[in-house]
């Protein structure tokens, strides 16, 4: 249970304020997240990490000397937006290149990829290393599909040590990828976690049992079993990880490994030490030498009771990064740091600005009278959609919790609220419909984060680009905008028809709308016909198995339950239909 919060919607902002105040000599707040208190050397590579909040010490706690240079911090269990990531990267940029590193979650991949593309367009040298250490989330042959969990820490550290040593971007990128290829993690949970403001956990575990292979966002495990003793759990974790020795490692007596024993939230250090003593014994019996193990909380999931074990298979280069000095709010390695890492007596030396200019400046383009009238109608549609999502927010969260983290309803609410607010401001500035949808889409993506935030942002912007700011829209231009939205969603999210995503609704809706408009039907008539088909398609996703995204490892659990993203899209299509019928003569 999460006990200490005020307004749940302000939780992340307030925790960042408190965190940066408590660790003011090491980190400082910037727009979008936090950065090191002191600037890196000019011309060096900087490492920017990030992810959703709710995992402290990840991600802000890993910013500081010897580790990451900056961290973009998203909402609870939701990826930071591309805008946040860009702002953090620009704040700490040292003109030597920027390396992004983050866990393999759909929302993080979408937003970090968008941020990388935006910064590259501005002339920055940007690379990304996606961490894939969780052995429970995919078979070894599909390692690229695996999630990133506690093994993110040694990867982040390896990259940052290389960057601070003045290595080139090519070398930093290579070393980070090498670290990722050598790290393996498995976790278990004895209880679910409860988000701030929620009155029940995302999932429950029966007393005396445990989930094996759960994710750090509160996703349930792959299977349940009777909870063993500490020694029994040590046996399970070590055996499964030793069956996953990286292919480049030649197993022999005397092999050296880094080790992390991590609490996911409420398992205390005393319990971890009981567990560690047996883990060390078992690994020693296999002839392995543990190098400077770390035991404690490193990547958590609010109040989840659980643990994870990470093994980092070392060579000389990786051992150097593992042992290198570090001094961050949450991770320390050797108190005597080298001169370049040492803080001086003046905490204001080389301060980072508290905010940086946005990567994109949204200039509101005044529209024609016809386009402004359409923009006003679109605002009515967004407001109707906000009501529809608000009424079903909890049920959308329940659908998402079946095989995901249960935050879809909350994320959709954050996104549509931000879109409505931005659209109102745009309308006051006499925006045409394209400009209004662009700022609404950007606001949705920025505030919602996560996969749905990125996808809804691109959908609104796509429709807007097809409508323009000059003339009144026609049925064919609206159909073209929906078709463009579908194409861009597929390109961005990689989902195809049948993957159990909102594409399974958007695809038939687009095809039906285009066909109805082509037959000469009015937009409202065509939209109603297409919305009926979309609603059937949304319910039809209950018969599909997810093939992409966070729900994929728990595919069978979702069978019989419709996809929450598909259902929320149907809700919004129906809300738009109501406005078209009541307020539009088109």
Distance CA 188, CA 236 (A): 10
Q: Can the peptide bond before residue 59 be classed as cis, meaning omega within 30 degrees of 0?
A: yes
CB atoms within 10 A of CB 340: 13
Q: Give start and end residues of each alpha helix (H) in 402-449.
A: 408-428, 433-448
Distance CA 243, CA 245 (A): 6
Instruction: Count the residues in the chain.
Output: 586
Sheet with 306-313: list strands edge to edge. 223-226, 209-212, 183-189, 306-313, 255-263, 288-296
Quick one: which of 585, 149, 137 has its CA closest to 403? 137
Could you give the angle at the alpha carbon of 528 between the alpha carbons of 473 and 559, nearest 5°? 120
Q: If DSSP codes are grouped into helix, strand and coil, which group holds residue 72? A: strand
Distance CA 94, CA 240 (A): 42
Q: Which of 69, 111, 217, 507 is catalytic?
A: 217
Q: Which secondary structure element, helix H or strand E, spans residue 263, and what is its range? A: strand 255-263
Distance CA 585, CA 362 (A): 31
Is 185 in contact with 214 (CB distance < 8 Å)?
no
Active site residue 69: no
Q: If DSSP codes are grouped into helix, strand and coil, which group holds residue 186? A: strand
DSSP 324-362: S-EE-SS-EE-SS--GGG---S-TTSSPPPS----SS--
Pairing of strands 288-296, 255-263: parallel
DSSP 6-31: SSGGGHHHHHHHHHHHHTTTTEEEET
Residues annotated as part of the active site: 217
């Amino acid at each position: 249970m999460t006990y200490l919060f005020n307004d749940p919607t302000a939780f992340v902002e307030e925790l960042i304020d408190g965190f940066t105040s408590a660790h003011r000599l090491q980190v400082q707040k910037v727009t979008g997240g936090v950065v090191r208190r002191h600037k890196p050397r000019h011309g060096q590579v900087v490492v920017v990490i990030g992810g959703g909040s709710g995992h402290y010490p990840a991600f802000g706690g890993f910013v500081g000397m010897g580790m990451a240079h900056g961290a973009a911090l998203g909402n609870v269990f939701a990826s930071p937006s591309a805008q946040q990531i860009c702002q953090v990267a620009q704040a700490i940029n040292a003109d030597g290149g920027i390396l992004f590193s983050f866990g393999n979650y759909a929302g993080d991949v979408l937003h970090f990829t968008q941020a990388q593309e935006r910064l590259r367009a501005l002339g920055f040298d940007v690379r990304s290393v996606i961490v894939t250490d969780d052995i429970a989330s995919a078979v070894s042959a599909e390692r690229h599909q695996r999630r990133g969990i506690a093994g993110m820490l040694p990867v982040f550290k390896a990259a940052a040590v290389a960057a601070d040593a003045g290595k080139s971007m090519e070398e930093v990128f290579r070393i980070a990828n090498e670290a990722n290829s050598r790290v393996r993690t498995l976790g278990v949970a004895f209880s679910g976690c409860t988000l701030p403001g929620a009155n029940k956990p995302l999932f429950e575990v029966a007393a005396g049992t445990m989930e094996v292979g759960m994710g750090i966002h509160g996703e349930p495990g792959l299977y349940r079993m009777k909870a063993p003793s500490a020694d029994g759990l040590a046996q399970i974790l070590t055996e499964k990880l030793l069956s996953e020795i990286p292919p480049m490692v030649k197993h022999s007596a005397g092999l050296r490994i880094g080790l992390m024993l991590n609490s996911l939230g409420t398992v205390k250090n005393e319990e971890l030490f009981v567990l560690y003593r047996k883990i060390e014994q078992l690994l020693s019996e296999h002839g392995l030498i543990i190098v400077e193990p770390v035991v404690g909380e490193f990547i958590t999931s609010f109040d989840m009771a659980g643990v994870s074990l990470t093994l980092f298979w070392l060579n000389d280069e990786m051992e150097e990064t593992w042992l290198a000095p570090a001094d961050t709010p949450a991770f320390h390695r050797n108190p005597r740091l080298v001169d370049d890492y040492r803080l001086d007596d003046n905490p204001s030396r080389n301060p980072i600005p508290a905010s940086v200019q946005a990567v994109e400046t949204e200039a509101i383009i005044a529209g024609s009278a016809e386009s402004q009238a359409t923009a006003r109608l679109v605002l009515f549609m967004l407001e109707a959609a906000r009501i529809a999502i608000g009424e079903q927010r909890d049920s959308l969260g329940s659908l998402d919790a079946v095989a995901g983290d249960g935050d879809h309803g909350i994320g959709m609410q954050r996104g549509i609220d931000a879109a409505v607010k931005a659209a109102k401001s745009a309308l006051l500035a006499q925006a045409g419909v394209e400009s209004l949808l662009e700022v609404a889409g950007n606001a949705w993506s920025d505030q919602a984060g996560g996969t749905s935030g990125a996808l809804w942002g691109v959908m609104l912007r796509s429709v807007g680009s097809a409508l323009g700011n000059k003339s009144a829209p026609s049925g064919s231009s609206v159909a073209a905008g929906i078709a463009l939205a579908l194409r861009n969603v597929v390109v961005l999210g990689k989902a195809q028809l049948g993957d159990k995503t909102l594409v399974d609704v958007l695809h038939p809706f687009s095809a039906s709308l285009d066909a109805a408009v082509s037959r000469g039907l009015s937009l409202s008539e065509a939209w109603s016909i297409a919305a009926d088909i979309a609603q059937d398609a949304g319910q039809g996703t209950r018969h599909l198995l997810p093939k992409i995204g966070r729900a994929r490892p728990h595919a069978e659990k979702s069978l019989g339950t419709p996809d929450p993203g598909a259902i929320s899209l149907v809700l919004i299509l129906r809300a738009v239909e109501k406005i078209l019928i009541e307020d539009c003569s088109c």
